[in-house]
Amino acid sequence: MNTAMDMSNDSTKTRVCPWYMAYTFDNGLRGFFHNPAAILGPYVSPGMTVLDVGCGMGFFSLGMARLVGESGNVYSVDLQDKMLARVKNRAQAKGLDSIIETHRCAEDSIGLDVKVDFALGFWMVHETPDISAFFREMHAMLNPGGHMLVAEPRIHVSRRFVTNEQALAKEAGFSVAAEPKVRLSRAFVLKKDQ
Ligand SMILES: C[S@@+](CC[C@H](N)C(=O)[O-])C[C@H]1O[C@@H](n2cnc3c(N)ncnc32)[C@H](O)[C@@H]1O
**3-state helix/strand/coil string of the chain:** CCCCCCCCCCCHHHHCCCHHHHHHCCCCCHHHHCCHHHHHCCCCCCCCEEEEECCCCCHHHHHHHHHHCCCCEEEEEECCHHHHHHHHHHHHHCCCCCCEEEEECECCECCCCCCEEEEEEECCHHHCCCHHHHHHHHHHHEEEEEEEEEEEECCCCCHHHHHHHHHHHHHCCEEEEECCCCCCEEEEEEEECC
Nearest CA to ligand 1 atom 23: 54
More confident residue, 17 or 67: 67
The 3-state secondary structure of 116-135 reads EEEEEEECCHHHCCCHHHHH
Is any atom of ligand 1 closer than 6 Å to the C-beta of 128? yes
Nearest CA to ligand 1 atom 20: 107
CA–CA separation, 94 and 88 (whole Å): 10
Nearest CA to ligand 1 atom 14: 54
CA–CA separation, 151 and 120 (whole Å): 8
CA of 116 relative to ligand 1 center, distance in Å: 19
Taking only the tens place, the pLDDT of each residue in 48-97 is 999 999 999 999 999 999 999 999 999 999 999 999 999 999 999 999 99
Average pLDDT, the chain: 93
Q: Are 121 and 39 in contact (CB under 8 A)?
A: no
Q: What is the pLDDT of residue 8?
A: 55
Exposure b/e, 100-119, CB count within 10 A at least 16 = b: bbbbebeeeebebeeebbbb
Question: Edge-to-edge strands of the sheet including 174-178?
Answer: 100-104, 73-78, 49-53, 116-122, 142-153, 185-192, 174-178
CA of 18 relative to ligand 1 center, distance in Å: 9
Say which amino acid occupies 26: D
Q: Which atom of ligand 1 is nearest to the CA of 122?
A: 6
User: Which of 79, 102, 135 gets mutated to test ligand 1 (max ligand atoms within 8 A of its CB)?
Assistant: 79
Instruction: Give the bridge partners for 101, in sequence order.
Output: 75
Is any atom of ligand 1 closer than 6 Å to the C-beta of 105? yes
User: Which of 34, 127, 156 gets mutated to test ligand 1 (max ligand atoms within 8 A of its CB)?
Assistant: 127
Taking only the tens place, the pLDDT of each residue in 93-131 is 999 999 999 999 999 999 999 999 999 999 999 999 999
Is any atom of ligand 1 closer than 6 Å to the C-beta of 58? no
Domains and CATH numbers, the chain: 38-192 (3.40.50.150)
Is any atom of ligand 1 closer than 6 Å to the C-beta of 78? yes
CA–CA separation, 20 and 35 (whole Å): 23
